[in-house]
Structure 1
Amino acid sequence: MMANAQEVSGIKLKTSAYSLKKAKKQDKVYINSFNVFFEIYKEISDKKAGYKGTRGKVVGDAKVSLGVGLKGVDIAAVQQKTDLLYQETIEKIKASGYQLVSVDEAKNIESFEGFETYQGPLLLEKEELPGVIQCVPSGYSFLAKVPKKTEVGKSVAKLTDKFNFTKLNEKPTISKELGDVMVIDVNMYVMFTEAPKPGFNLGSLDKVAKVKINTNYRLVDRYTVVNSGSQKKSLLGVSVAGNKIATDVLTQFSVVYGKNKIGGSALASYNGGLKKSLEINGVLKKEKIKAYQAQQTIAPTLNNPAYQKIGGITLATIENRFSKNASWVEVDGAKHSDGLYNACHLFLEQNLKEVFD
């Protein structure tokens, strides 16, 4: 049942299926992943490089950074909603006549050799997804390779790109090794920022580093998360390396069944995504948040203190400018978590019908 407040826009699935009826003839399901990702902070930056122009003109560097975060998010409420989404999913699967394959059984197959068992509730943050929290539901266990896990508070871990989950091309093998069961992966991304359309223009301020962030709370179809590259502490209190990374994320409900003897592809498959993002209303208003930093330009005019002659050589002193801006958007914690639940619930409900009805 959907929460009373925070309506979502009409959903349109984008699906593809191959021999799904064949997969539904067996009676076991292994849930390989089940995650709700939600964004609570976004930081972007821009830089204009300085240069030396004609007739002694000099232009300095300009760099601007803009951060936008959500204030008032109830993390515990999001965890509860994630738990509810997972429970509804497994109840639907069981009610359709299927048994769930446990992690204890799955960990014994060759594909999961060297993997460790982890159990929710967990809040995780990956280096390649800065500002985005991964919520793992209570009662759900999964297998992954983690060379090192650092606890930060209660039920919180730092995950790096070395946190190895199973890859898409490995799913048919997992299905086969488990006795040709359906392997399901569910990953949903709820974001509050979006990339602006081209055309952000500051008129005559052509020598300007400029950034813009648009706010729009939604369950995304597809989105690119960019690590700004600056050295900082993560949202969960862990120092994050400064490598600039662009990571594409996709809200998806996928099913893989069996493995072909020739080629190794799946005997049957299903992929369910969104044709367009599912907007969540009543949580935050759409805004355009901008920041800019102009470059300094100097020219060798009479008595300009920026220019000095030393030993017959003219030296110019130019300022390299940097500005950092932060903006916080206040949200109601209950409305935020209700909206997240409503969007994810609708997405899961539609995909579960496609697969199991």
Structure 2
Amino acid sequence: MKKIILLSMALCLSFTFNAQTLDNLKITSKKYGLSKMKKAQKKVYINSFNVNFEIYKEAIDFKAGGNGGRIGGNTSSATAKAAVGLSGVDANKMQAKTNKLFENFKQRLKSEGYEIISADVAGKAKSLEKWNKATGPFMKENIPGVITCAPENYAFYYKKKGALGLGGLGIQAKLSKELGDVIIADVNLNVMFSESGNDWMKGRAAKVKIKTNLRLVNDYVITVPQKLKKKKSTLGKLFGSVKIKGAVDTYPINSMISFSYGKAGLGSQTQFNGTLKDDAEISGVMKKEKIVAYQKQGSFTPTSFTSFSNYLDAKEDRFSKNAKWITVDSDAFANGFYIACNTFMDKQLNAFFSKIK
């Protein structure tokens, strides 16, 4: 398990804002057979409580070169890489806010008359008998640049190494039955600060654009440049050992609160899935800006006046990079994160309980 080390590098910019607002957080939900859940016994097992926040982003673009003959000429390959990271994020404050979110969730369940089933009791279910148990508090970088924070006094099960923090995904129906027809709760909260920008008019060049936009995301795909698996080249050592051809790994995520009950099957399982209508932007923490890396391809068209050195210069692969670190106020970041997650969670719990009373 990777340990999270707080970033403490010399930085370019520092933004501190006193005011914090949450713009236009609107929820939506899908409901299946909630009338059955009204009759269920008031017991809940918190199957997963995933809280993720982003502190670093890398992006890469690659433009392949080639031989176009005497008319098109020869072109070199071009690679552009951009990166942006946050400094000032305090791990202790983020852990404290995550703990508070979890306590709020549990207290709301209890205030509605629900008993929370412990992980020790749930671990006796057949569906979890070969799963591993983990206990918070901890922070872990499951996805490069994205921190998963497990709250204090929370235990859960995961199936395989590398899936820590994901909880018992895909087994809610079985688990509900095996635990005596209890309600299974799953919480996913994802706060991202970066998003990819598009540029369709880049021509013979590699270009990558990262935009900063702190928000609680609805549906989002995290992209991470793939690392070299074989021996690192000199270029790889210099630029983070990414594959020059721009290959990336993708990780789809979404913010959602769900409650499941009953066995699987049409007309049998009852479910409430609460999501966002759109991303909820968190204002007053960091400015919106763009980080761009651009690299034009070299080109060579043979004529009677060109030399072999002209050819070598044009065919040499080109690489450019642009990296930036942004300082955020630790309290503003932690508070903005908490306000967004708690507002979403509170609205979804209101919507859920209003339907099953």
TM-score by length of 2: 0.83
- Asked if structure 1 preserves the Cα contact closer than 8 Å seen for 2:50 and 2:165, the reply is no
- Secondary structure (helix, strand or coil) at the match of 2:24 reads coil
Question: Which of 74, 78, 85 is the matching residue for 2:94?
Answer: 78
* Pair 1:315–1:276, CA change in 2 (3 A): closer
Q: Which residue of 1 aligns with 2:195?
A: 194
* Pair 1:289–1:266, CA change in 2 (3 A): farther
Q: Which residue of 1 aligns with 2:339?
A: 342
Counterpart amino acid of residue 186 in structure 1: V
In the alignment, does 2:355 pair up with 1:355? no
Question: Which of 203, 215, 220 is the matching residue for 1:218?
Answer: 215
**1: distance between equivalents of 2:210 and 2:312?**
39
- Asked if structure 2 preserves the Cα contact closer than 8 Å seen for 1:61 and 1:319, the reply is yes
- Secondary structure (helix, strand or coil) at the match of 1:8 reads strand
- Secondary structure (helix, strand or coil) at the match of 2:315 reads coil
- Asked if structure 1 preserves the Cα contact closer than 8 Å seen for 2:57 and 2:83, the reply is yes
Runs of 5+ consecutive residues of structure 1 not aligned to the other structure: 148-159, 233-238, 309-313
Matches within 5 A, 1:195-344: 195-196=196-197, 198-199=198-199, 201-202=201-202, 206-231=203-228, 244-259=248-263, 263=265, 266-307=268-309, 318-344=315-341
Question: Which of 34, 56, 61 is the matching residue for 2:77?
Answer: 61
* Pair 1:101–1:49, CA change in 2 (3 A): same
- Secondary structure (helix, strand or coil) at the match of 2:93 reads helix
Question: Which of 33, 41, 44 is the matching residue for 2:59?
Answer: 44
Q: Which runs of 4+ in 1 moved over 6 A?
A: 239-243, 314-317
Q: Which residue of 2 aligns with 1:90?
A: 106
- Asked if structure 1 preserves the Cα contact closer than 8 Å seen for 2:84 and 2:324, the reply is yes
% identical aligned pairs: 40
- Secondary structure (helix, strand or coil) at the match of 2:248 reads coil
**1: distance between equivalents of 2:209 and 2:242?**
24
Q: Which residue of 1 aligns with 2:22?
A: 8
Counterpart amino acid of residue 295 in structure 2: Q
- Asked if structure 2 preserves the Cα contact closer than 8 Å seen for 1:209 and 1:292, the reply is yes
- Once the 2 structures are TM-superposed, how far is the Cα of residue 165 of structure 1 from its aligned partner? 4.1
Note the alpha carbon deviations across 1:187-242, whole angstroms, 9 max, x for none.
0110001122x44545xxx211000011100000110011211349xxxxxx9997
Note the alpha carbon deviations across 1:243-278, whole angstroms, 9 max, x for none.
732121110001100115xx3775311000000111
**2: distance between equivalents of 1:70 and 1:296?**
34
Instruction: Say what the alpha-carbon RMSD is for the aligned residues.
Output: 2.5
**2: distance between equivalents of 1:136 and 1:172?**
24
**2: distance between equivalents of 1:317 and 1:226?**
31
Choose between structure 1 and 2: higher helix proportion. Answer: 2
Note the alpha carbon deviations across 1:24-65, whole angstroms, 9 max, x for none.
431100000012110111111011111112317211111111
* Pair 1:82–1:231, CA change in 2 (3 A): farther
- Asked if structure 2 preserves the Cα contact closer than 8 Å seen for 1:172 and 1:266, the reply is no
- Secondary structure (helix, strand or coil) at the match of 2:251 reads strand
Matches within 5 A, 1:143-222: 143-147=157-161, 160=162, 165-168=167-170, 170-196=171-197, 198-199=198-199, 201-202=201-202, 206-222=203-219
- Once the 2 structures are TM-superposed, how far is the Cα of residue 120 of structure 1 from its aligned partner? 0.6
* Farther off after superposition, 113-122 or 185-194: 113-122
* Pair 1:65–1:55, CA change in 2 (3 A): same
Question: Which of 144, 149, 155 is the matching residue for 1:130?
Answer: 144
**2: distance between equivalents of 1:120 and 1:32?**
14
- Asked if structure 1 preserves the Cα contact closer than 8 Å seen for 2:150 and 2:165, the reply is no
- Asked if structure 2 preserves the Cα contact closer than 8 Å seen for 1:73 and 1:333, the reply is yes
Note the alpha carbon deviations across 1:152-182, whole angstroms, 9 max, x for none.
xxxxxxxx359874333x2111000000001
**1: distance between equivalents of 2:227 and 2:316?**
21
Note the alpha carbon deviations across 1:130-167, whole angstroms, 9 max, x for none.
211111111111011234xxxxxxxxxxxx35987433
* Pair 1:97–1:69, CA change in 2 (3 A): same
Counterpart amino acid of residue 181 in structure 1: V
- Asked if structure 2 preserves the Cα contact closer than 8 Å seen for 1:42 and 1:68, the reply is yes
In the alignment, does 2:112 pair up with 1:108? no
- Once the 2 structures are TM-superposed, how far is the Cα of residue 306 of structure 1 from its aligned partner? 3.1
- Asked if structure 1 preserves the Cα contact closer than 8 Å seen for 2:83 and 2:324, the reply is yes
Counterpart amino acid of residue 137 in structure 1: P
- Secondary structure (helix, strand or coil) at the match of 1:81 reads helix
**1: distance between equivalents of 2:165 and 2:149?**
15
Counterpart amino acid of residue 34 in structure 1: F
Equivalent pairs counted in the alignment come to: 322
- Asked if structure 2 preserves the Cα contact closer than 8 Å seen for 1:256 and 1:266, the reply is no
* Pair 1:251–1:163, CA change in 2 (3 A): closer
- Secondary structure (helix, strand or coil) at the match of 2:22 reads coil
- Once the 2 structures are TM-superposed, how far is the Cα of residue 307 of structure 1 from its aligned partner? 5.0
- Once the 2 structures are TM-superposed, how far is the Cα of residue 338 of structure 1 from its aligned partner? 0.3
